[in-house]
Amino acid sequence: MDSTMVIRALGALSQEHRLAAFRLLVQAGGAGMPAGAIAEKLGLAASSMSFHLAALANAGLVTQRRQSRLIIYSANYDVMNALMGYLTENCCGGVPCTTEEMCCPPPMPTAMTCKKDVA
């Protein structure tokens, strides 16, 4: 993940309604939610919601799939997981910490998707 992608992902999440929508989708898991349901839950006009969901999708934070007339959005956990890794890269100049306490966070699991939803 390069800096451009990181900036787009962070920028997408740094907005009240987009952050709320993303959290909603994280909690919804692999089942996801249709655009209309998200808009209703957040009290936003459909056009505004569409605008924000497009921003999240553009950043790779959510994926969309059509199911009949609905467009279902789901969180893409992998992209979010890549953020912290980028931010903490070469933490403290890469100098290994001398104590048993860690300096940098450990890598996160690459697969955060609920198996039950994938099945």
Site string for its own copies, 14-43 (x = CB under 8 A): xxx--xx-xx--xxxxx-------------
66 binds, among its own copies, DNA, none (CB under 5 to 8 A by kind): DNA
SS (H, E, C) 63-99: EEEEECCEEEEEECHHHHHHHHHHHCCCHHHHCCCCC
- Considering the complex, state which of residue 64 and residue 113 has its C-beta at the smaller distance from DNA: 64
Q: Does position 71 bind DNA by CB under 7 A?
A: yes
Site string for DNA, 27-66 (x = CB under 7 A): -------xxxx-x----xxxxxxxxxxxx--------x-x
* Strand arrangement of the beta sheet that strand 62-67 belongs to: 33-34, 70-75, 62-67
- Considering the complex, state which of residue 70 and residue 83 has its C-beta at the smaller distance from its own copies: 83
Q: How far is the CB of 66 from its own copies (least distance, A)?
A: 22
Q: Are 22 and 75 in contact (CB under 8 A)?
A: yes
Write the CA distances from 33 to 15, 17, 21, 25, 84, integer angstroms.
19, 15, 10, 7, 26
* AA identity, residue 38: I
Q: Which residues are near DNA by CB under 7 A?
A: 11, 15-18, 34-37, 39, 44-55, 64, 66, 68-71
